[in-house]
Amino acid sequence: MMDIHRILKQLPHRYPFLLVDRVLELNKGKNIKALKNVTINEPFFEGHFPNRPVMPGVLMIEALAQAAALLAFDALDATPNDQMIYYFAGIDAARFKRPVEPGDQLVLEAELVRMKAGIFKFKARALVDGELAVEAELTCAMRNIK
């Protein structure tokens, strides 16, 4: 549905902070299903943890937010530019259910619950092999910057 080249046009993030590799499904204004391939050469694994590499929970949440941003931009038929930024405004009910390790494929799912005045509310979750890894309610804000 959306390859890395289109993702790079839609998100301002770049390596090592771009955490969405591919969009598998995108239903305009409704939901998105995306993929993050977790590899051993991710820079955070060097220190988290050297003897048992585990993807940090905050980065799993960030990956969900990036997928949600792709959904939001598509819902508005918008492309980010130098005058617009997409911020986190809140994270609620975050729960981490299983560790994510090198070799895992993190399937990112976000559902748009509400969109009003540049504020977006999502229900999001990430799975590995069909097993829930993390879930959260995300609030994001799209703002023009001067």
CA 116 to chain CA centroid, Å, is 20
Question: pLDDT, tens digit, for every residue of 40-81?
Answer: 999 999 999 999 999 999 999 999 999 999 999 999 988 878
pTM of the model as a whole? 0.96
* Whether 5 is catalytic: no
Which of 48, 102, 118, 137 is labelled catalytic? 48
What's the token pair of residue 144? 């023009």
Which residues neighbour 126 within 8 Å (Cβ) at sequence distance 6 or greater? 36, 60, 63, 64, 100, 106, 107, 108, 109, 132, 133, 134, 135
Residues 98/118, Cβ–Cβ less than 8 Å? no
Does the domain formed by 4-144 have CATH 3.30.460.80? no
Question: pLDDT, tens digit, for every residue of 76-121?
Answer: 988 878 788 889 999 999 999 999 999 999 999 999 999 999 999 9
Q: Which residue's structure tokens are 């799975």?
A: 127
